[in-house]
Amino acid sequence: MSEGPGSTKRAADRLRRAETTVAEVITDDRPARLLALEERHLDDVLAIEEASSPAGWTRKIFLTELARPESRCYLVLESQDPEDVIAFGGVQVELHEAHITTLAVHAAHRRRGPATPLLVEPLRGGRGRDARAATLEVRHHNLPAQRLYAGFGFRPVGIRPRYYEGKDDALIMWAHDIDEDAYERLLDARAAAVGRARRVGAMEAVEHPLQGLVGDARAAVDDVRRKLC
């Protein structure tokens, strides 16, 4: 069934969260805000992107993505004093599938929790756009990120050879049934866990909630490699 202009606008409104206050995300007691990514953020975003992936997205790519709010949701986590971008991320939703297209955290704030809301909110946006499954790519050797994604129900399913900079392989991960009520409860739990961990000084444990899954992920990667060779 095709969507009319009204339903498309409502879906876009659900997908884009204009501004959400995040009070307990980072560990140095500075509040941060989750905002819709705008052109004014791009200098900070591009600096983080270049540090994370030298052959990553360009300003033109970001502007092209921002011009498609009906199927895209891009957010930044911004500290309030000073107003610096700590992290950013986003999702593309097409044909009932949510693709986490980008997620990066400033090096000074990694393993302190800022990646969690940048997964929670885009995935909620994807659910609001009727996504039933979600996918992403992650460097095959980036075990901390794989642990984070495992905590959101993502599981490894394959390899994209030389996906990054023409040399690093990407691990393809999928999460299914994200439209179910149980997945909404998982997102609520992930968001709440960040605040709890900040109070007890265990933020790293939140970003890596399922330690045993790392061995499972590595075994899956090795199995995929054997099948491809």
pLDDT digits (tens, 9 = 90+) for 163-196: 998 889 999 999 999 999 999 999 999 988 876 5
| Domains of the chain and any CATH numbers | 5-228 (3.40.630.30)
Q: What is the pLDDT of residues 96-114, one digit of tens each?
A: 999 999 999 998 888 778 8
Give the pLDDT of residue 113: 80
Give the lowest-confidence range in 63-77, 132-146, 154-168, 205-219: 205-219
Q: What is the pTM of this model?
A: 0.75
The mean-pLDDT minimum among 15-19, 81-85, 86-90 falls in 15-19
Long-range contacts of 217-226, Cβ-Cβ distance < 8 Å, separation of 24 or more: 217/143, 217/146, 217/150, 217/156, 217/171, 218/143, 220/155, 220/156, 220/157, 221/140, 221/156, 221/159, 221/171, 224/156, 224/157, 224/158, 224/159, 225/159
